[in-house]
Structure 1
Amino acid sequence: MQSWVDGQPASALASLKDRGLAYGDGLFETIAVKAGQPLLLDLHLQRLAHGCSRLAMVADHTLIRSELLAYAQAMGEGVLKLILTRGDSLRGYSFTAEAQPRRILQASPAAAYPQAYGAHGVQLFDCATRLAEQPLLAGLKHLNRLEQVIARSEWQDPAYAEGLMRDTSGRVIEGVFSNLFLVRDGGLITADLQRCGVAGVMRAALLTHAGQLGIPCQITDISLAQLRQADEVFLCNSVYGIWPVRAFADLSWPVGPLTRKLQGIARTLLDV
């Protein structure tokens, strides 16, 4: 499946003036596609629109939706990546109001994670890399992912499916490419992402569905002590759904009933 740039088949080279390449000035969304349909599309587009507002990027969201639907239909199945950059500019950090955002769509095969991750749970690597606290960018899926790149380079052992990331104050935030939930006394706890971290689409969907089911949900700072006290722990994202966490450092947890219940909801959200 050929990539599209601004709705047209991509040329061999990107513009060397693109601010996404020069400064990471832009946003992206990673979207699962099944039977030609982009899944959780409304939540992805809501997050994208919020990010554009925060970065003062003026984008045609109706056009973006239309292109995503057309591209997903042509893909059929796999993982679609939308990259939205601020477009071209000359040297320097400043940009003008006339800058035209560039839309890049790329297709990849469906993610082939081991079935055991969802069935039996995963082990987390303890990442030394810490997330910087920057409220202006917190929650956004912006193009600068160097913290995640460095964190993911810390382990090669296939025994670890994901890494746990904390911020510079030691608070537990998320996985390298996932959001984290704790289960305690029948309720859900997930990290407050007002200082750093990515506000995941599956995280948002699970909070909504859990609330509708009357499951208590708390968004708050999480310490390592709270992680130790959790009854269940799981990871989520919009491509794989939910992975129970069975082990981290000297800690271990069972794959509990609330995790299994929410796994069923996530499967429904990622099915057509």
Structure 2
Amino acid sequence: MATPLSADALVAALKKEGVTVVEHAGWRTHNRNAKGAWGPVNGVMIHHTVTSGTAATVSLCYNGRSDLPGPLCHGVIAKDGTVHLVGNGRANHAGLGDADVLAATVAERSTLPSPRRQSTDGNTHFYGFECENLGDGRDPWPEAQLTAITKASAAICRAHGWSAASVIGHKEWTSTKIDPVGFTMASLRTRITSRLASGASAGSPSPGSPGAAHQPFPGADWFRKKPKSAIVTAMGKRLAAEGCSAYSSGPGPQWTDADRASYAKWQRKLGYTGTDADGWPGTTSWNALKVPASR
């Protein structure tokens, strides 16, 4: 559960991940917020468009249809891998879905239940990417497009400290939809997991590489496994330097409840509240801490 990214934060996250972004006029204030809540957000939903041609697809997703006003997503991912931003806020992309699927996504379970009910408003809880494809099982998915889907999903997951389990397909949300067709969501989540584990966001040197002044975010899952690492020690020292220590003795290298309590203090210092200040590191708060890179 998280507060939606601002327009600036979303663009920055996508570009840092190496995504080619096109911002369409008015997208920052183009939304359906007057019709319902936008957030807290819990995941990313992937769709196919059943359209051909990038310009026509972007126009449709921006403007919508007579029976469904736009925006129909937050970003359109074209065949060439470009992400076209068309909306910021509530978008008409997810519709009603299963509350049990939402609960499994929030918990980041590796297996989702089969959707049976249309009881929960997904437009409140999910970022949506419409991917240009006819959805007939024959229209190809170019590698550039699959890579962009991976990068865009990973960018949002990094920003919120989510794992790949927070990325679902429309067909996993409701039994009334089949998208995406042409690749499996399991294969996409595997790609996203690999990217998050590699720390491969653009402009972020790998841990220990020459010129890496600060430690890149290791990923939310890394901390939940209670690691024993010099990174934990370096983090603890930075938390103490920022006046956010809950340690009774020196920090690290083993992750403990004291590390989590200290990190929660840091999150509150940054202005986070509620579940956003639960002590589990996320990308934004981690980058702000400026933990020295492990050598």
- TM-score, structure 2 as length reference: 0.24
Greater share of helix = 2
- TM-score, structure 1 as length reference: 0.25
Greater share of strand = 1
